[in-house]
Structure 1
Amino acid sequence: MTDIAIRTARPDEIPALLAFWGRAAEGASITDDEAGVARLIERDPQALLVAELDGVLAGTVIAGFDGWRCHLYRLAVDPELRRRGVGGALIAAAEARFAELGGRRADAMVLEHNALGQGAWAGAGYRREEQWRRWVRPLAG
């Protein structure tokens, strides 16, 4: 069995992470640029988790904690490496981080049309809350 190694992202990996999200993640975010990812790593160096299989980038998740709530973003697994436990290992690592920080509930951002992502989160025990809708307003650009 191949071992999945989970670690935090490094600033020198930002270009590779953005390229990875371009092929492995569903959708794009206003913060999917070098400056946005650099701010995340600088602000919370433990938030961006990276999974490796045999030293190769296999997946990511952002496990953000604001002191009140636990938020999960950018769960992405290389399409060639799916169904090998990478997503589950990332979610477990994120939940362990939250537990260490005193987090009490985690929420995951999942696009409405992302059936694959919805299945992954449901498989990890997350459920959709119908009463909530996300309201956004870009602050830049």
Structure 2
Amino acid sequence: MNTDTIADYLTRVRNAVQAGHRVVEVPASNLKKEITKILFDQGFVLSYKFDDNGPQGTIKIALKYDKLSKDPVIKKIQRISTPGLRKYAGAGEMPRILNGLGIAIVSTSAGVMTAKQASAQNVGGEVLCYVY
């Protein structure tokens, strides 16, 4: 029984990046699908595909690596808000990651988005993770 499915998702991606895998497969949920879309839109993953086979389906994520040095684009992916200790941020106090080079993914009342988008829409929410 997995109590923190977002941490499991992030750990699978982190382990696949460290092992040098090209594709990682994770169990799907609506929140994980939204996080995957954000990672794709921000250029951290190459592509993704949602498979609805089975009871909940899976997400196949093609990881992105630098063409010349073969270094992964995702240097660090870190869970911030956990089930035991929730972390919230208001619209005016959204975190900046690596002075704007990384992103913070935030779950707001307007949906899942980056911290920069949440500040622009003037909404706060739960800080899910940092990616850089």
Same fold (TM > 0.5): no
Bigger proportion of residues as helix: 1
Q: TM-score range by the shorter chain?
A: under 0.3
- TM-score, structure 1 normalization: 0.24
The structure richer in strand per residue is: 2
